[in-house]
A = this chain, B = another copy of it.
Amino acid sequence: MTQPVIVTAVFPIRPDSRDAVVEALRTALPLVHDEPGCELYAIHEAADGTLVMIEKWASEALLDDHGTSPAVAALVGEIGQYLTAEVAVTRMTAIPIGSTGKGSL
């Protein structure tokens, strides 16, 4: 059975590179949003400057395709120089709970 995949991707970046990274994301994200199976691809900023992407994909297969997309290749090319460590990607399945809609992405 095909089920959605939820992803967190943690980008540890050099503090002085924040604006350059966000600029690259402003270019890349609309392209990713148009990829098949992309339901959510949203970036967030923690107090320590770490950036965290929260994603939802329609299936594992479409998420795999995203990994080789031109938009991702371009983004990696742009921001690789600003990373202080590897991007930590976690793939997950949802455990939906409750009836209000607040229990699942």
Contact = CB atoms under 8 A, between A and B. Distances in A.
Interface in A46-61: 46-47, 50-52, 54
A25 B91 contact: no
A63 interface: no
| Identical chains in the assembly | 2
| Interface magnitude class on chain A | 35 or more
Given A6-B44, A44-B92, 16 more contacts: A8-B54, A22-B95, A30-B98, A30-B100, A33-B100, A33-B103, A34-B100, A42-B96, A42-B103, A43-B95, A43-B103, A44-B95, A45-B93, A45-B94, A46-B90, A54-B105
Interface of A: 6, 8, 22, 25-26, 29-30, 33-34, 38-47, 50-52, 54, 90-100, 102-105
